[in-house]
Amino acid sequence: MESSRRKLIERLKTKEAVVGIVGLGYVGLPLMLRYNDIGFRVLGIDIDQEKVDKLNAGNSYIEHIPSDKVAKATQTGFEATTDFSRVAEVDAVILCVPTPLNKYREPDMSFVVNTTDAIKPHLREGQVVSLESTTYPGTTEEELLPRVQEGGLVVGENLFLIYSPEREDPGNPTFETRTIPKVVGGHTPACLEVGVALYEQAIDQMVPLSSTKAAEMTKLLENIHRAVNIGLVNEMKIVADRMGIDIFEVVDAAATKPFGFTPYYPGPGLGGHCIPIDPFYLTWKAREYGLHTRFIELSGEVNRGMPEYVVGKLMDGLNQHGKALKGSKVLVLGIAYKKNVDDMRESPSVEIMELIQAKGAKIAYSDPHVPVFPKMREHHFNLSSVAFTAESLAQFDAVVLATDHDRFDYELIKAHARLIVDSRGVYREAVDHIIKA
């Protein structure tokens, strides 16, 4: 045990260790670039051959990650592959795979389980396995631990198992992988020591925890905190609107209090791979303990209802202009889940588009970050982004401002759109053709 642990920690500290990252998406790719940048050899593994070919050619497929950074990485030792047997070559295996919900809003652990099954025949003595995917407390112990020990390796002695949740905020220029503190939980104290040695090379601040379960729960609390507070302010928006009060003015005013208040802003619903999904991991696991997570479920209910609220405001606005939604031409502005990114996962804009189309309107979208509507597991639109001009805006009966990208010209929209449904609080002044949603 001692020699395996000591050798691995020494290899990590001297950067002789090879880092393997499984899953080269919004989490895995920035992590790869960081390890490559500080002098580690990185092997990337992904099941998507097209993605692997792009990366090996030095091309990025994520808008906020420049291709020149990927090209530099490939020139300095980074390689991508679909061959899981090459896990044997690496010292650290970091799993960055999706953890979506199924149609019953229960955790879909297939990516984590299938990936663990794919790597387990190739694990060897003196490796560390780290799960970064957001999941319910107990996943590392219940799903990974028995699988990685099937070949006779013993976790804590000659194989080390940790959970260290990803913390990414694409589009936020204030933070990067290096500057976001890293939570690490180990299955044993020896595992934790190895986990800290793995991540302290790349991340400025370590936050070591007593167990993998505590680390898993930490990630869920972070995202539940956001989901509940966004649910609260979305509910407040509906109440304020009925009372003729601008909720954005109220939030800005409350935010001047220097203690005890954190501003959260309402919107058309929740998006991204974390906030709409992760709280339900705890809801699902809590049932095993006979517990009912009412705050989480109530905020989920409020947030899931926001796209319908926006469409209701659109219908109200069209009615005021003597039009029905059926047969109207509607342009949705911004279909990424948050401003200034190209990430479409769980975007409320897509649900808004589906609701509008289902009511008989002709739908189109404009998004400078998403030129063609991507292939998605559950949503299908054969559309490309409409050119953003005065002429194109004027062709539509209404535009729904769903994602407030900085690249939109908001004065142009105000001047040429016939009706604007603003779900992001961009327009604060009262104007006849602007509906606050």
Q: For the segment 17-59, what is each residue's pLDDT rounded down to a tens digit?
A: 999 999 999 899 999 999 999 999 999 999 999 999 999 999 9
**Residue located via tokens 């490309």:** 384
Rounded average pLDDT over 420-426? 96
The model's pTM: 0.91
How is 219-234 classified by DSSP, letter by letter? Answer: HHHHHHHHHHHHHHHH
CA atoms within 13 A on the CB side of 89: 15
Q: Which of 276, 26, 285, 289 is nearest to 133 (CA)?
A: 26
pLDDT at 63: 87
pLDDT at 41: 97
Rounded average pLDDT over 92-120? 93
Rounded average pLDDT over 304-314? 97
Give the rounded percent of residues in the chain with a pLDDT score beyond 90: 87
pLDDT band of 176, cuts 50, 70, 90: confident
Residue 274 pLDDT greater than 90, yes or no: no
**Active-site residue (options: 274, 306, 344, 402):** 274
pLDDT at 277: 86
DSSP-derived secondary structure letter, 314: H
Q: Confirm whether 220-302 and 305-436 share one CATH topology.
A: no
Report the b/e string of 404-413 with b at 16+ CB within 10 A.
Answer: bbeebeeeeb
Rounded average pLDDT over 393-420? 96
pLDDT at 14: 96
pLDDT at 170: 73
Please say whether the beta carbons of 94 and 130 come within 8 A: yes
414: its two tokens: 């105000």
pLDDT at 183: 98
Domain boundaries, the chain: 2-209, 220-302, 305-436
Rounded average pLDDT over 83-93? 97
How is 350-380 classified by DSSP, letter by letter? Answer: HHHHHHHHHTT-EEEEE-TT-SBPPP-SS--
Rounded average pLDDT over 217-246? 95
pLDDT at 263: 96
Nearest-angstrom CA–CA distance, 370 and 347: 12
pLDDT band of 6, cuts 50, 70, 90: very high
Name the CATH architecture for the domain at 305-436. 3-Layer(aba) Sandwich (3.40)
pLDDT band of 1, cuts 50, 70, 90: low
Residue 356 pLDDT greater than 90, yes or no: yes
The two beta strands, 329-333 and 159-163, are unpaired
Cα distance from N-terminal residue to C-terminal residue, the chain: 60
Superfamily covering domain 220-302: N-(1-d-carboxylethyl)-l-norvaline Dehydrogenase; domain 2 (1.10.1040.10)
pLDDT band of 431, cuts 50, 70, 90: confident
Rounded average pLDDT over 173-182? 88
Would you call 274 a catalytic residue per the annotation? yes
pLDDT at 430: 80
Q: According to CATH, what is the number of the domain 2-209?
A: 3.40.50.720
Rounded average pLDDT over 3-18? 95
pLDDT band of 379, cuts 50, 70, 90: confident
Residue 377 pLDDT greater than 90, yes or no: no
